[in-house]
Structure 1
Amino acid sequence: MSATVTRKRAAKKPSAKKKKVVAKTTGKKATTKRPAGNKRAAKKTTARNKPKTTPKKAAAKTSAGRRRKPPGTSTSTQVGARNLTARAAEVRAQRRQRRRSVVIVLAAITVTAAGAIGAIRSPLLDIDGAVVIGASEVSVEEIQQAAAVPIGTSMVDLNPGIIAARVESIPTIRSANVRRGWDGVVRIEVIEREPTLALKTPAGFVLVDDDGRQVRTSEVLPDGFLPVIGLQASGVAGDPAPPGSSSVLRLMEAMTAPVRQEVSEVIVTGAEIALTLTDGGRAVFGDDREIEAKVVSLETLLLSVDMRCVHEIDLTVPSAPALSRIGEKGNPRDGLADLTKCS
């Protein structure tokens, strides 16, 4: 009987596959009961994973689950208040120190400024006199009179630009430089105008500088100058040179030493320029176009051609100069064979 009952119970137990099918049809998860030993292991695991609470933290909790304020809060607040008070006192001390520094600096500046003003207005800085440097054609007295340096006034009040402009108003002065001297002396350094042309006039010569300004007059021709004939100058120092002077100035600037030695005078007729040669004859330049090339062409002829019996050298076309000679009876004739009759 017992064997028969056991077989029936075994037959009634559903298989694992049937349990899965039932779970799928009902939509519920199949749960399996854990043995009692597993529950104990789970409890132990949960107890291990729980965070440990220290006695202090546990004591801090109230029955309502809130934390109490940690002890000593009032003491830390007092310490913070003391620190703020000390910091405020330190800031006030720094501000007072800065104010003192500013006051000291301002006082020093005031004292220095007062001393400087007193020194500037001291009689030790008064103007005692003026000296002139670089004058040769113009007298020192004339320059000092034109400068009108205020003797006895403070050197600080002197305006060098105004003094220089007064000196430069003298026609023969090109430029002036005025410098203060803290020894009480004003120094006036001048550069005079250098004449480069001597224009022939009935009374003598008018000297003109390279700026085209009449500098002064002279009764005789200065050494090293070529007389320029045909330009009418006023003869008043400081006046501009007459028209045509600029062309002659360009010619003089371009003229080389070999050419200058063979020239005795410069003749200006309207816009035409010609040179009188020392051996006789003349060199015709025409107008002032290509004047540098004309000088080079003339120099080439003077160095390579026998200049005896030369009547005229036409340089109006500098690349093709034309030379004519004087005949036996004084008539110009090209290609004179016998040059001994002109020597």
Structure 2
Amino acid sequence: MSTTRPSPDRDARRPEEPAPRGRGPGRWKVALVTLAVAALLGAAVWVVLGSKLLVVRSVEVTGTSLAPRDRVVAAAGIRLGLPMARLDTGEVRDRVARLREVESVRVKRRWPATVRIAVRERVPVAVVARSGRYHQFDRHGVAVADSAARPPRLPALVVAAPGPSDRVTLAALGVLHGLPDRLKRQVAEVTADSPATVTLRLAGGPTVVWGGADRTEEKVRLLDGLRRTPAGRTARTIDVSSPEVVTTQ
């Protein structure tokens, strides 16, 4: 009876059984790092949105002269103590822009605790006397201020229904806005019955029938040239409404 022994080569080729896989330290490290990151993110969100570390503590206002600072701050409606990140700068901008003195406004956060409101005010260019008061209008026909005394250096605006939606008002103010500064400073009064019948009364000088707001440069050049002539220096009225035919009286 013979006995068969296993071949050494066959045993060598037999694959080893895999060792049981245990929970190594790598998994614990990943879990700890994940928890730490989550905690940091949560703390950051709390600091920005929920804590009292980054809240509105002051409001800065720049660019105002017609509108008092207190009115701008009241219109902005910013609650002190509000988390900076929760401030809606667009809503603040829209509220401040409703003030009649304001033409445009920018609102910015200045971390950690300040809100800055930069105002660009409307510029009065003419004054309307009405009901015993003087109302100052900007070039868009918006009444930006009023007073009991007439403001100096502003020409009078004489139209039937002054306002930002009135075509006659906009035409008269458009003519005034288009004049060079040296001529604009001489205007004492601007009147109009229609957009095409604007008339300028110059202080210490003639009345100028201007017409519409078109061909401004050409009309200015003709007016300057005519005022240097003997006829222009003595004229009470100069009509440049039709540049092809300039007349004097």
TM-score range, shorter chain: 0.7 to 0.9
For 1:208-223, list aligned pairs within 5 A. Answer: 208-223=137-152
1:166 is the counterpart of 2:91:
no
- Alpha carbons 2:164, 2:170 under 8 Å: kept: no
Instruction: Name which of 228, 235, 239 aligns with 1:314.
Output: 239
CA shift in 2, pair 1:197/1:74, >3 Å: farther
Question: Given residue 202 of structure 2, which amino acid in structure 1 is its aligned partner?
Answer: L
Q: TM-score, normalised by structure 1?
A: 0.59
Cα distance, 1:310 vs structure 2: 0.8
Partner of 1:116: 44
User: Match for residue 189 of structure 2?
Assistant: 265
Aligned pairs (5 A) from 1:144-155: 144-155=73-84
Encode CA deviations 1:267-324: one digit per residue, 9 max, x unaligned: 2123411122344542212233434422232122224555343132221221331223
The CA deviation string for residues 55-75 of structure 1, in whole angstroms up to 9 with x for no partner, is xxxxxxxxxxxxxxxxx9957
Partner Cα distance (2:183, 2:46) in 1:
67
- Find the aligned partners of 2:66 and 2:208 in 1 and give their Cα distance: 35
Corresponding residue of 1:126: 55
**Which structure has more RCO (C-alpha within 8 Å, separation ≥ 6)?**
2
Which structure features the higher share of helix residues? 1
Q: Decide which structure has the larger Cα Rg and report it.
A: 1
Match of 2:4 in 1: none
Secondary structure (helix, strand or coil) at the match of 2:128 reads strand
Unaligned runs of 5+ in 1: 1-71, 234-238, 325-343
Kept in 1: contact 2:155–2:188 (CA 8 A): yes
The amino acid of 2:141's aligned partner reads G
* Residues matched between the structures, number: 240
Once the two structures are superposed, what CA deviation does each residue of 1:236-274 show, in whole Å capped at 9, x if it has no partner? xxx636431221222122212443355432221234111
Cα gap change, 1:76 to 1:193, in 2 (>3 Å): farther
Kindly indicate whether residue 7 of structure 2 is the aligned counterpart of residue 78 of structure 1.
Answer: no
Q: Distance in 2 between matches of 1:245 and 1:73?
A: 113
2:202 equivalent among 277, 281, 286: 277
SS at match of 1:195: coil
> Is the 8 Å Cα contact of residues 128 and 135 (structure 2) preserved in structure 1?
yes
The 1:114/1:123 distance shift into structure 2, 3 A limit, reads: same
Q: Name the CA distance, whole Å, in 2 between partners of 1:109 and 1:319.
A: 80
Q: Does 1:227 align with 2:151?
A: no
| Identity percentage of aligned residues | 24
Confirm or deny: 8 A CA contact 2:61 2:116 kept in the other structure: yes
- Alpha-carbon distance between aligned partners in 2 of 1:76 and 1:323, rounded to the nearest angstrom: 127
| Contact persistence 1:279–1:307 (CA under 8 A) | no
Query: Conserved in 2, the CA contact under 8 Å of 1:208 and 1:241?
Result: no
Secondary structure of the structure 2 residue equivalent to 1:259 = helix
Kindly report structure 1 stretches of 4+ aligned residues shifted beyond 6 Å.
95-98
Report SS of the residue matched to 1:123. coil
Say if 1:128 and 1:151, in contact at 8 Å, map to a contact too. Answer: yes
| Cα RMSD for the two superposed structures | 3.3
Distance (Å, rounded) in 2 between the aligned partners of 1:320 and 1:301: 12
Cα distance between partner residues in 1 of 2:113 and 2:186: 55
Give TM-score, length-normalised by structure 2. 0.78
Q: What is aligned with 2:168?
A: 244
- State the secondary structure of the residue aligned to 1:250: helix
Partners of 1:115 and 1:196 in 2: how far apart? 54
